[in-house]
Amino acid sequence: MRFVLRSKIHKATVTETNLNYIGSITIDEDLIEKAGFCPGEKVLVVSNTSGARLETYVIPGERNSGKICMNGAASHLIKVGEEIIIMGFELTDKPIKPKIVLVDKKNRFVKYL
């Protein structure tokens, strides 16, 4: 069994941070569905801007809002305006074709990669 990439949102832009929220990353519900994430799922978030990496969990944000919000302590590591990659993995012994979603600067779906 191996952990393999299952879902990814590529080149998203952090639109806000909320230090006072109790952890997680808020993601536009439309992007959650397109990438195949589920609320509460553990994800790896990597900043292309700063190099920061962290694990957290997904909570849905307003559909079609483009919202990507770093909550709680994660807001100290990844700031508004940073370009990030959000990845989900699956433990499996079979090959998986990951859903990789490319978004524009406003976090609108562009295409599957």
- Distance (Å, rounded) from C-alpha 59 to C-alpha 41? 8
- Residue 33 in tokens: 């569905």
Domain span at 74: 2-98
With H, G, I as helix, E, B as strand and everything else as coil, classify residue 74: helix
Overall number of domains in the chain: 1
Q: Is 37 a domain residue? A: yes
Q: Is 41 a domain residue? A: yes
- 36-53: pLDDT as tens digits: 999 999 999 999 999 999
Q: Is 113 a domain residue? A: no
Question: Is there a contact between 14 and 84 (Cβ–Cβ < 8 Å)?
Answer: yes
- 1-27: pLDDT as tens digits: 999 999 999 999 999 999 999 879 999
Q: Which positions are annotated as active-site residues? A: 24, 57
Q: Is 108 a domain residue? A: no
Q: Is 104 a domain residue? A: no
pTM: 0.95
Instruction: Kindly report the CATH number assigned to the domain that includes residue 15.
Output: 2.40.40.20
